[in-house]
Structure formats: structure tokens, C-alpha cells
Amino acid sequence: MSFASRLWKAVDKKNTPAMVGLDSRLDHLPEPFASRAQDGPVEAAAALVDYHRALIDILAEHIAVIKPQSAFFELLGPHGWQACGDAIAYAKDRGLIVLLDAKRGDIGSTSKAYAQALLGGGFEHAFPASDALTLNPYLGDDAAEPFLKIAKEQQAGLFFLVKTSNPGASLFQNHGSPPLAEIVAKQVHRWGEETRNDAGWSDIGAVVGATRPEELARFRKLMPHTPLLLPGFGFQGGTADGLSAAFDKKGHGALVNSSRGILWAYKREDLFHLATWEARTEAAVIEMKEQLASVTRVQQ
């Protein structure tokens, strides 16, 4: 089954396009994991393993996709990378789709090695394969080609950065006429045309920030068959307002990501009536699903 087909089937099963990013900072873990993380990289990585397993158990009941951010694992060296692999494998065992947020992008044999490592399981399956990967497209088509080839072989997804949610994105991405981001969007659409499933959706996706809903309709027009990853929901200021342009009448078309809004929910005073970090996290996930239900129309 193609990546897009698997993705929308999973979204339909959970009745939400909500996605949670595993951007787990050691100084913002709930207890008892935060204390354990202060005892060096080995124990910090072990704390991440235990925390993410508990977190994934909560998420698997409500959402279809998680997005581990590789930087917070790489920070801990080889032990952190092992913790990342554990999170990927555990999430897949729980039936979740894993979109690894590594934003890779290079040329030739380096691109091929990245793609084999992160989408193909590495050398003799040394690392669990993710279902999809974020990529930086700005090195051009020769850099993208190895990723496109291996993604096709693995029936995996790719999400190219098109218009990001950070405040400085406009410095380069708005440059020129048409803006550079629109040129990238048109190329992402072309890359994806050969991978479209029976419903018309491509396996090749694009990252477009949820903090700029006024741009969504334009990028949807440029990429009509492209799954969109919409980061920035919640903590970065993105809301459900204006996101409907990304979705079709079946509620397909985009994944809406929240990271800190879910991971840091245990600190919310309005949730202090719930006794545990697990209960507060689950409440935040349910809240996000409710906020998105009206714009995605997945309940119709």
C-alpha cells in the first residue's frame, strides 16, 4: 500500500489529522524523567526511552502519526540515537505512522546514504525505518533524486520544506517573483505526480507552516495532490482557524503538528485538577482533536 493510502487510512481510523512531535527537551520532561535526565547521557537516553514509551501509549489511543525530532536525540550521542530508534520501533509496534523530522538534504552518495539509513533501515537493518522523512530541497533535483528513488522502493513518504513556520522564513522563502517558496512548491508537485494513489494523493508531501493560514489556499492550488505537514499549531501560535483550505471533504490533505503544546501540557495550570502528567497530556491531545474537528470535517 502506498504511503498516502496508509496515511489517510490511519487518519480515518483515529478520526483526526492531529500529529504530535517528539521534541523532547531534557529540561522540560515531567518527573520522574527530568531528574533521571540529569545523570549523564546514558541515563538521559534511558529516561527518554521510558518517557517516550509512556507517551506513545497515550498518543496511540488518539492520533495516527508522530514526528520524532532527531536533533533532541542526536544531542545525546550514540545513546540518544538508540533512544530515537526505540521510539520509532515502539510507535510502529503500536500502529502509529512515524514521520522522522530530520530535515536532511545533500547530494549524490550522501543523499543515498541518508535515505537508506532513515527510510530503508540502514545497513543490515541497523536502524528502524521510518514511514516518512522531512527534507530540505534547496540543493536541487540531484539531491532529491536518491531520496525519491528509495522512498518509492520502500513505499515511504517525503515532506519537503516549502514554507516554514519560523519568524525568519520570509528572508529567503519570500524572495523573488514568484517567491522562491512557490517555485519549490511547483517542483514538489512535479516530483509527486508519479506517486499518486487511486484517490489522487501523492506520496510526496510539503511542509507549510500552520502559523500562516492566509497562504494555505495558494500552496494548495500549487500542490493539489500533495499531503501537507502543517507545523506550528498551539505553542507557536497556529490555530485551527484558516486551515480548512488544506483539507478535502473527506478530511484528507494535511497533518497538523503540535509539539510543545502537548509535551508541556503537564505544566498547564488549567489542567492541574488532573493528578498526573499522563492525564494532562491526554487532555491536551483530546483538546487538539476537538479544535481540529470543525475545520477538517472528518466527522461528516
- Integer Cα distance of 295 and 245 in angstroms: 9
Q: Choose the catalytic residue: 92, 103, 112, 250.
A: 103
Separation CA 120–CA 118 (nearest Å): 6
CA 25 from centroid of its chain's CA atoms = 17
Dihedral of alpha carbons 272, 44, 46, 100, sign:
positive
Tell me if residue 103 is catalytic.
yes
- Residues recognised as catalytic: 103
